[in-house]
Amino acid sequence: MDGHMFGNTMWAGHWLWMLVLAIIAVIPVWRICQRTGYPGWLGVLILIPVINLALLYFLAFSEWPADKTGDRNG
């Protein structure tokens, strides 16, 4: 025993699974940001705890640039 209670729990598939989940979370938010008129890269912020809540509130309650231009297709 090398002092770890659960042994080595970080297997290679874990990182692949985390990447898949991150992609599943980012893609819809990326599209929402684009459709509201904001840059799509803001969708990456959904991966950062607490910042993700701020992003959702920002998108929900701010004036969207797409509303001003009439472009809603992204």
Question: Would you call 14 helix, strand, or coil by DSSP?
Answer: helix
CA angle 9, 53, 19 (to 5 degrees): 35
pLDDT digits (tens, 9 = 90+) for 20-63: 999 999 999 999 999 999 999 999 999 999 999 999 999 999 99
CA 55 – CA 51 distance, rounded (Å): 6
User: Of the candidates 36, 58, 61, 62, which has an alpha carbon nearest to the alpha carbon of residue 46?
Assistant: 58
Pair of tokens at residue 28: 């819809």
Residue of higher predicted confidence among 31 and 16: 31
- How much is the pLDDT for 3? 55
The domains of the chain are located at 7-59
- pTM (predicted TM-score): 0.72
- How much is the pLDDT for 9? 64
- How much is the pLDDT for 71? 63
**74 pLDDT exceeds 70?**
no
Pair of tokens at residue 48: 């950062």
